[in-house]
Amino acid sequence: MVDNGTDIQKGILDGASSFFSLFRRNIGATIGLFILTIVILIAIFGPLLFPNDPWAMVTRPFLKPFSEARHLLGSDLLGRDILTGIVYGTRVSLLIGAASTFAAILIGVVIGAIAGYFGKWIDDSLMRFTEFFQTIPSFLFAIVLVAILQPSFATICSAIAIVSWPPVARLVRGEVLSLRSREFVLAAIVTGQSSWRIITRQVLPNTLSPIIVTASMMVASAILLEGGLSFLGLGDPNIMSWGFMVGAGRTVIRQAWWISFFAGLAIMLTVLAFNLVGEGLNDALNPRHTREGR
């Protein structure tokens, strides 16, 4: 028993070491992780360093960036501090990205797992349902949903999740189809385990790698969607977000370029970081790459 436990621990350590080794080989992924770490730290600790209300008018309007140390990135057309707004917008963007992605993954995994495992008419029905959502342009559908439900944090997350789950469902369905005829699944069926237990204990754990990679990409897409909605005036009016800041500065872009520029730069860097990390995870979690690394 002790030897088996030692072997399991050694296998876990070897797997983790191989994963981090492959991840570090991707320079882009390392850079993306560094940027993402900074963004997360700003989201966590930024409001402690900038306790002022991001909606407060703290200086004169259209203050140019780097002209005053107290307002390093300048002010907008109402005299609100740009840097404070970006700091608070970091938390909002990450929360919306994470919450909507979690909801989309949950919906997609449930539908994809049921369709792939049971097959037949259940598979056909669920896939036709999925294809119906895929035929509707995602951004336009999100605009309609938010406009109908009224803009708020919850409705924005819900709208993004509703337009984002179909690719996850198709991915999970394909993975489950390839796994349901494997020996360990057939052995579980022979021992009398319920379908729910087989799906949750035997099948889904073996689909985690592609789901994790997809989730990292989906967070980036969710941040872009939220930015687009806020830019169009469909963001939550009670929270400061990067998209709102970009939209607020579009009417005075020639007079005060910095209002939109710095918020847009924050969106670009964060989305780029998530995509780079996603590529690194794909390389590290891909079994073929893992074997080559060894």
DSSP, residue by residue, 36-63: HHHHHHHHHHHHHH--S-TTSB-S-TTP
Q: Has residue 1 been placed in a domain?
A: no
pLDDT of residue 19: 66
260/28 Cα distance (integer angstroms) = 27
Q: Has residue 97 been placed in a domain?
A: yes
pLDDT band at residue 6, thresholds of 50, 70 and 90? low
pLDDT band at residue 170, thresholds of 50, 70 and 90? very high
227/248 Cα distance (integer angstroms) = 12
Q: How far is CA 266 from CA 87, 118, 236, in A?
A: 10, 44, 19
pLDDT of residue 13: 53
Q: Has residue 40 been placed in a domain?
A: no
Q: Has residue 3 been placed in a domain?
A: no
Q: Has residue 33 been placed in a domain?
A: no
Average pLDDT over the chain, rounded to an integer: 85
Q: Has residue 283 been placed in a domain?
A: no
Contacts with 171 (C-beta within 8 Å, 6 or more apart), sequence order: 108, 112, 210, 211, 214
**Over residues 257-270, mean pLDDT:** 92
The residue type at 244:
F
Q: Has residue 255 been placed in a domain?
A: yes
227/160 Cα distance (integer angstroms) = 11
Q: Which position has the token pair 């939220």?
A: 226
Range of the domain at 139: 47-278
Q: Domain count of the chain?
A: 1
**pLDDT greater at residue 10 or residue 56:** 56
Q: Whole-prediction pTM value?
A: 0.86
Q: Domain containing 170 — which CATH number?
A: 1.10.3720.10
**Over residues 235-261, mean pLDDT:** 87
**Over residues 166-171, mean pLDDT:** 92
pLDDT of residue 15: 54
Q: Has residue 289 been placed in a domain?
A: no
250 and 264 Cβ atoms separated by less than 8 Å: no
